[in-house]
A and B are shown apart, each in its own frame.
Chain A
């Protein structure tokens, strides 16, 4: 456990315990406490990472490996956007308001635990805590779709925990320890790697199921579509990234994919990544529900991260980490916009919507920023991460993968343009008559995230310096 970051785990947990008592008579206290906790944590993290002396020194004094700090900041950022959005989104009568905020804070705490831990067993514990909070959060509004999504999520990701447990058992038997450091040292030595690689492959397979990479993706669209609207932003934005993709990136660096000791596993992972880019993008083309299309787009973007993690060179890991952060920002924007649409029109069916750009200009423009970033259009942040990934692929001689990754980013642009045309441009449909823009507090998180997308794109050299420090520390 990275002790410097322990407070970021414990304080949300404490808040989660206090909220049900504090909000017993005044339900609004729950909103205030949750927002204040996350805002204070985020301000603290920003000071830690972005104070002027740190930037001037090229981020050399970042505590720990840098990756934990970056991902904790991403968790807090998405968590804050979701709680702030929820505070104005939840209807007054919802009975379990304090429980909702408690679960969100426990989920933030569990994600902080996942990214700061240094051994596989603690990782497993926090992953399960995260899964439990997600099941409960999906069914917040007790809708039929929510319960169905949560049940599918439960049944299709529970076997992943079994794979992780068996992997942990075999790792304990062959390596004698479960810490990351021992695995790294073992893979750097000359000992035959067979059984340890097998155990790691089982653990990795568990995390592949949990992150929704293609052969195991069937739960993802159902869970995202059925979930309570702000919760789907939380799930798609950060929960599945942290509970699945983070561990894949971590294992890829620990197994030293770049020096070819686990060649077969690395190739398999890259193939699955490419497959999920292709299947996700092609399936997104023919969706009619906004949220379901975003879910398939999410599968496709996770494919890019897994592809880069499977390659495992320092440049590819930089691309994977950067794309993870970018994915958190733009997918949060798009899902929160879908929640705004649902609130003002009552539907997310793209065939029933149309011509929303005049009645909801802010939602429309932030969607354009986010979708251009997802598709990788130059000044925005998504361009740089895809560029890093494709450059890394080209540099390692995997030209076919590089070309395919480039082509499917055009397909990404195609399905997002179709979405934008159906929902925001064109003629007004009966469902979108007399629709008002949602209130300013609901727009604030979306505008903040869009600003971050633009800022990360324009200030890329600073961020590159940070990610470079991270890649150097986690690989060497």
Chain B
């Protein structure tokens, strides 16, 4: 077993932890944390793929851009959470059920 297959095992475990965090919790904040963990695992795949194909510089360039993009997306998500909390006074995902049909 070489170092790279170890990488990918680790990525799979982190991704599983993230999905478990999303499935097991009712709070929107914890759901967002779960999403963050999943997306960190995805970023590890990029750097691992870069190392594996001797293309580390390219992978680093991509990764830094991805981190910046992700910060923006997560900031927007947090803003939505705050707006929702101010409106409903709770962060429970199951209260979001007024739109259905």
Interface residues of A (CB under 8 A from B): 121, 124-125, 128-129, 131-132, 135-136, 139, 142, 144-145, 147-152, 154-155, 158-159, 161-162, 165-166, 168-170, 172-173, 176, 221-222, 225-226, 287-289, 292
Beyond A151-B96, A288-B101, is A168–B87 a contact (Cβ under 8 Å)? no
- Shortest beta-carbon distance, A205 to chain B, in Å? 13
Q: How far is B55's CA from A292's CA once the two chains are assembled, in angstroms?
A: 47
| Docked-complex contact A165 and B99, CB < 8 angstroms | no
Q: Count residues on chain B whose CB falls below 8 Å from chain A CBs.
A: 39
| Docked-complex contact B49 and A173, CB < 8 angstroms | yes
| Docked-complex contact B53 and A135, CB < 8 angstroms | no
What is the chain A residue whose CB lies nearest that of B96?
A148
Q: How far is B70's CA from A162's CA once the two chains are assembled, in angstroms?
A: 10
Q: How far is B4's CA from A229's CA once the two chains are assembled, in angstroms?
A: 50
Listed by A's residue number, 18 A-B pairs whose Cβ atoms lie within 8 Å are A121-B62, A124-B66, A132-B73, A139-B80, A139-B83, A147-B84, A147-B87, A148-B84, A148-B99, A151-B80, A154-B76, A154-B80, A162-B38, A165-B39, A165-B42, A169-B50, A172-B55, A221-B99
- Shortest beta-carbon distance, A217 to chain B, in Å? 13
Question: Which of B39, B42, B58 gathers the greatest number of chain A CB atoms within 10 Å?
Answer: B42
List B contacts of A165 (CB < 8 A): 39, 42-43, 45-46, 66
Interface residues of B (CB under 8 A from A): 28, 31, 35, 38-39, 41-43, 45-46, 48-50, 52-53, 55, 58-59, 62, 65-66, 69-70, 72-73, 76-77, 79-81, 83-84, 87-88, 96, 98-101
- Shortest beta-carbon distance, A263 to chain B, in Å? 26
List B contacts of A142 (CB < 8 A): 83, 87
Q: How far is B88's CA from A161's CA once the two chains are assembled, in angstroms?
A: 28
| Docked-complex contact B38 and A168, CB < 8 angstroms | no
- Shortest beta-carbon distance, A42 to chain B, in Å? 29
Q: Count A-B contacts at CB 8 Å.
A: 106
Beyond A170-B49, A173-B52, is A159–B62 a contact (Cβ under 8 Å)? no
Beyond A148-B96, A158-B73, A176-B55, is A166–B42 a contact (Cβ under 8 Å)? yes
User: Beyond the given A136-B76, A158-B35, A168-B46, could you list 14 further A-B residue pairs with CB under 8 A, ordered by the A residue number?
Assistant: A129-B69, A132-B73, A139-B83, A147-B83, A147-B84, A148-B99, A162-B41, A162-B42, A165-B39, A165-B43, A169-B45, A170-B45, A176-B53, A288-B101
Q: How far is B77's CA from A159's CA once the two chains are assembled, in angstroms?
A: 13
| Docked-complex contact A225 and B83, CB < 8 angstroms | no
List B contacts of A147 (CB < 8 A): 80, 83-84, 87
Q: How far is B52's CA from A261's CA once the two chains are assembled, in angstroms?
A: 26
Kindly identify which residue among A131, A139, A161, A288 contacts B39, using a CB–CB cutoff of 8 Å: A161
- Shortest beta-carbon distance, A156 to chain B, in Å? 11
List B contacts of A132 (CB < 8 A): 72-73, 76
List B contacts of A158 (CB < 8 A): 35, 39, 73, 77
Beyond A125-B69, A135-B80, A162-B42, is A155–B31 a contact (Cβ under 8 Å)? yes
| Docked-complex contact B62 and A168, CB < 8 angstroms | yes
